[in-house]
Amino acid sequence: MDSLAVKEGVLYHRWELTELGKVTWQLVLLKGLCTSVSKQLHDNPVAGHLGVSKTLAKVRERFYWIHCRHEVEEWCQRCDLCAARKGPRVKQRSPLQLYKAGESMEHVVIDVQGPLPGTDQGNKYILIAMDYFSTWPKAYALPNQEAVAVTDVLVSQFFTRFGVPGVLHSDQGQNFESSMFKEEVRVPWELHVPLDLLIGRSQEEPEDRGYL
């Protein structure tokens, strides 16, 4: 892959932020070292117990591993000291802004449009999946907008061709997402997707809404 390179016997990952014109080569970590890095860059007195975004930015300056964003979020959310300083959590709406992805398939948003005039195959809806980094969209015909139909198309036609995104988000709402990912349990993933691409899903990010 173009995003990976071996330098002096060490594996690195190419991280690019197009809006800044900056390219960083991140050290690819073994799974057993990821927790230690998160701890050092968040819990260490010098680190200052920064929030998720700043901690993640510090990690990405030097390191890379699969599930990086998800695991850093979990580590910061479990921090007792941060929770004590913040007090009771109050959910606030974030202003609409674009998610900044550093590479293709890091963040994909999906939406369902319809009902539309039916086709000869009985399809009345369109599933749109778009990659945040490249803004490249892909459309699929659906007979309905139920979670099982959406999941089947994503797994059999999108994931198997382009890979599983780091974050998958839907404008259909949390109830729809919960139903969709319950359907995943019924899908024989190992027949469709390489094991190392089966990754966790992040929580809903308010700034994603309305992007499609």
Mean pLDDT to the nearest integer, 103-130: 91
Residue located via tokens 């990821």: 34
Task: Quote the radius of gyration of the chain (alpha carbons, Å).
Answer: 19
As annotated, the residues of the chain forming the CATH 1.10.340.70 domain(s) are 4-85
Position 47 scores a pLDDT of 61
The strand ranges marked E within 75-196 are: 107-113, 125-131, 137-142, 167-170
**Among the listed residues 173, 175, 179, 155, the one whose alpha carbon sits nearest the alpha carbon of residue 165:** 155
- What digits encode the pLDDT tens for the residues 11-54? 888 877 766 667 888 788 877 777 777 777 777 666 667 777 88
Contact by Cβ (8 Å): 11, 3: no
Q: What is the pLDDT of residue 137?
A: 92
Integer CA distances (angstroms), 66 to 29, 96, 175, 200, in order: 9, 27, 27, 10
Better-scored residue on pLDDT, 195 or 188: 188
CATH fold label, 4-85: Endonuclease III; domain 1 (1.10.340)
Burial of 30 (0-12, 13-18, 19+ CB in 10 A): exposed
Higher pLDDT: 78 or 171? It is 78
Question: What are 176's two structure tokens?
Answer: 């729809």
pLDDT of residue 152: 87
More confident residue, 171 or 151: 151
The reported pLDDT for the residue numbered 202 is 39
pLDDT of 23 reads 81
Average pLDDT over the chain, rounded to an integer: 74
Take residue 207 and report the two structure tokens written for it.
């700034």
* CATH number corresponding to 107-193: 3.30.420.10
Q: Within its chain, how far is the Cα of 58 from the centroid?
A: 18
**pLDDT, tens digit, 9 for 90 and up, residues 175-190:** 455 565 555 545 454 4
Residues of the chain with CATH 3.30.420.10: 107-193
Structure tokens at 12: 């690195």
81: pLDDT strictly greater than 70 = yes
Q: What percentage of the chain reaches a pLDDT higher than 90? A: 13
Please state the pTM of the whole predicted model.
0.43
Tokens of 149: 């139909």
